[in-house]
Amino acid sequence: MNSVETKDVHLYYGDFHALKGITMAMKKNQVTAFIGPSGCGKSTYLRCFNRMNDLIDGVRIEGDILIDGVDIYKTNIQVDDLRKHVGMVFQKPNPFPKSIFENVAYGLRVNGTKDKKFIEERVERSLHQAALWDEVKDKLKKSAFELSGGQQQRLCIARALAIEPSVLLMDEPTSALDPLSTAKTEELIHQLKENYTIVIVTHNMQQAGRVSDHTAFFYLGELVEYAKTKTLFTNPKDQRTQNYITGRFG
């Protein structure tokens, strides 16, 4: 079953044609990785899925994007509802200047949950899911800024999981982390795909190889090749993919 599906998506920043007709489908409970050199459009494409591009002036999008079968650019779609359904983790950990507990509870609170007990349970469960619970269970009231970079990133993952999205977008989630934290985060991605559909943008091809089931290679706003990760890395069909993964450019 497809969780995310796009048909002939074009995106323009003013006059700049950033995405050139991208058609692809991402399967449910699988990890899909986007790779490609800087500026190839992979992050821009990812941000279409929760309409974060709406925040940028002068962006125009054509084509259809369906999340779990729903066209998310239809006029009757509430953007905040969509973003509850499609969570996102960013490149740089961005916890709020609130306590660890309040960071995870934030998404529930802004979406109207008042039940204290429910919030407490959900916060604990999300921290467990993000493999952070044991490290923070005794200091939930402490500021999130006291955590290390890797812990902060896992807190941001917990924060995204707390509102139970079905799709989790990760925009280079480990590029600001040390190798140990990166390994932990990758392990986490493995566990999370049981319950979530994950789309991850990465600069690191080894990472794409380690965590993903499918990989898509983007170049100059085009989807060049999309295949099973093993196939793409061992037997690329397109010369440009071959050049990129063998390190001849990028």
Q: Name the residues that contact another protein, by CB under 8 A.
A: 50, 52, 55, 57, 80-84, 87-88, 90, 92, 94-99, 102, 106-107, 109-111, 143, 145, 156, 159-160, 163
Give the integer Cα–Cα distance in Å for 147 and 95.
10
Q: How far is the CB of 110 from another protein (least distance, A)?
A: 4
Nearer to another protein, 53 or 215 (CB): 53
Q: How far is the CB of 221 from another protein (least distance, A)?
A: 23
Nearer to another protein, 88 or 198 (CB): 88
Nearer to another protein, 99 or 195 (CB): 99
| Cα separations in angstroms, 4 against 76, 168, 174 | 19, 11, 23
Give the integer Cα–Cα distance in Å for 22 and 46.
12
Q: How far is the CB of 176 from another protein (least distance, A)?
A: 11
Tell me the two tokens of residue 12. 């323009």
Q: Which residues contact residue 250 at a Cβ distance below 8 angstroms, ignoring those fewer than 6 apart?
A: 36, 37, 244
Q: How far is the CB of 94 from another protein (least distance, A)?
A: 4
Nearer to another protein, 160 or 211 (CB): 160
Give the integer Cα–Cα distance in Å for 137 and 100.
9
Burial 206-234 (b: 16+ CB within 10 A, else e): ebbbbbbbbbbbbbebbbbbbbebeebbe
Nearer to another protein, 105 or 211 (CB): 105
Q: How far is the CB of 88 from another protein (least distance, A)?
A: 4
